[in-house]
Amino acid sequence: MTTTPNTSAGALPGRPPIVDLATWQRARDELLVREKAHTREGDALAAARRRLPMVEFDGTVEVVGPDGPVPFLDLFQGRDELVVYQHMWYDGAPPQGQCEGCTTTAWHLKDAVYLNARGVSFAILTTGRWEEVASYVAFMGYTQPWYSVRGVDPPVGGDMGYLACFVRDGDRVFLTYSTTGRGTEPVNGSLALLDRTPYGRREAWEDTPEGWPEPPQADSPVGGHGSPISWYWRSDADGKATWGPTSRPVPQWTRPGATPVETLGRHGPHH
């Protein structure tokens, strides 16, 4: 059952107008036309990605995992396709001091069973020393394979913070696609869901109705992200967005033994 206010008294300050279901459906249908066009354009972009040229490189280059050095080819696990996330790393930093942006990306793909079912393997690469990486992976409870690419040249090593795709033809290996920044968002299903909620992501850059609730404020906003800061990156034990010394990347609060700390463990809070 829905209610239909017939006077302006039913309006809520700083909110969209309140209407009956039929009026809402008409507005929803108008938006659906744009959403379908967006979907079709996404399909066209995906088709263009499949037609990008490839870069061949030496698949025998070694990366370091739990079993020691292994050739990059092993990351395919016998499959023909491979997706990797290249996770930023801060040498010597404890878990709370590692990259919060990369944490939120990696956290959203803890199981690649659906990729595997379609012949695609998944791995996370980082430039950290394996001894440090292994400790971090254990703390976070990650089950997807991680490897250190310290000292390895691009496209396997090099700059981190990227999502990259590879294909193999026998023992020949090719880079087919790479993206960074907001291009990695498809991994993060939470952002897509937030984009469909009334308040959205609640970040400062979003276009929201006048009078909409202000985004949560984070104390000590510094760096290039602006203020208020992305609230889902770091919080204290009470869930307050903060870059202060008691903060951690948000998923870490689900980890056993995650307690407030006295330092981020590295120089500066941002990558």
Pairing type for strands 172-180 and 55-57 reads antiparallel
6-20, 53-67, 215-229 — which one is most confidently predicted on average?
A: 53-67
User: Cα dihedral sign for 73, 78, 82, 88?
Assistant: negative
- Stated pTM of the model: 0.87
Min mean pLDDT across 17-31, 99-113, 139-153, 232-246 is at 232-246
What percentage of the chain exceeds 70 in pLDDT? 89
30-34, 193-197, 254-258 — which one is most confidently predicted on average?
A: 30-34
Has residue 9 got a pLDDT over 80? Answer: no
Cα three-residue angle 113-118-122, rounded to 5 degrees: 55
pLDDT value, residue 57: 97
pLDDT value, residue 82: 98
pLDDT value, residue 226: 42
Has residue 1 got a pLDDT over 50? Answer: no
Averaged pLDDT for residues 232-244: 83
Burial of 1 (0-12, 13-18, 19+ CB in 10 A): exposed
How far is CA 33 from its chain centroid? 28
Give the span between the Cα atoms of 253 and 51, in whole angstroms: 42
pLDDT value, residue 242: 82
pLDDT band at 227 (very low <50, low <70, confident <90, very high): very low
Min mean pLDDT across 5-19, 34-48, 129-143 is at 5-19
Averaged pLDDT for residues 262-269: 67
What are the backbone dihedrals phi and psi of residue 101, each rounded to the nearest 5 degrees, phi first? -65, -45
pLDDT tens-digit readout, 165-220: 999 999 999 999 999 999 999 999 999 999 999 988 888 788 888 888 777 666 55
pLDDT value, residue 271: 39
Q: pLDDT: is 217 or 67 the higher one?
A: 67
Other CB atoms within a 10 A radius of the CB of residue 183 amount to: 12
List the chain domain ranges: 52-178, 216-265
Q: Any idea which residue has 């969209």 for tokens?
A: 16
Please give the mean pLDDT across all residues of the chain: 88
Give the span between the Cα atoms of 244 and 242, in whole angstroms: 5
Fold of the domain built from segment(s) 52-178: Glutaredoxin (3.40.30)
Min mean pLDDT across 102-111, 125-134, 229-238 is at 229-238
Give 164's strand partners: 84, 178
pLDDT tens-digit readout, 93-125: 999 999 999 999 999 998 999 999 999 999 999
